[in-house]
Amino acid sequence: MPLCRPGGSTRRFNSVPSSTSASVVRGVRTDSLSRAVAVLDGKWTLLVIRDLLGGPKRFGELRDSLAGISPKTLTDRLRDLESAGVLSRTMYPQIPPRVEYRLSDLGRSLAPVMNALAEFGRSLPIA
């Protein structure tokens, strides 16, 4: 299974042994940075993670906080992050159904990365 399906918006992720530092599997580089980029790739992905760093959110809360994102794109990003183990989806058996998304331990480990990106963004000149 490839790290990323060429030409598709839905990515499937493959676990690569840590002993493989910069090899090529089925034509795809599997070094650690490439694997990280494969997970974090896609418009809105980092903003979804940013919002979930504040705690669990329902779909509508995420959609409202990300002005301009389409429901399909948000669904795609949530599914991609769930399949990569970055977040978990919990469905509560009630009417109407309630679904919450929260970061996993792996997802929460992105907090320093997100803080570094925010600091980088603050250092950029305003265009």
Q: Which tens digit of pLDDT belongs to each residue from 83-111?
A: 999 999 999 999 988 999 999 999 999 99
Task: Look over the chain and give the mean of its residue pLDDT values, rounded to a whole number.
Answer: 83
Higher pLDDT, 25 or 111: 111
Higher pLDDT, 79 or 25: 79
Spell out the domain ranges in the chain: 1-41, 43-123
Contact 52, 110 (CB under 8 A): no
Work out the pLDDT band at 7, boundaries 50, 70, 90: very low
- Give this prediction's pTM: 0.74
Give per-residue pLDDT as tens, 37-82: 999 999 999 999 999 999 999 999 999 999 999 999 999 999 999 9
Confidence check: pLDDT of 2 > 90: no
CA distances from 126 to 91, 114, 118, 123 (A): 42, 20, 14, 9
Q: For domain 43-123, is the CATH number 1.10.1200.10? A: no
Pairing of strands 87-92, 57-58: unpaired
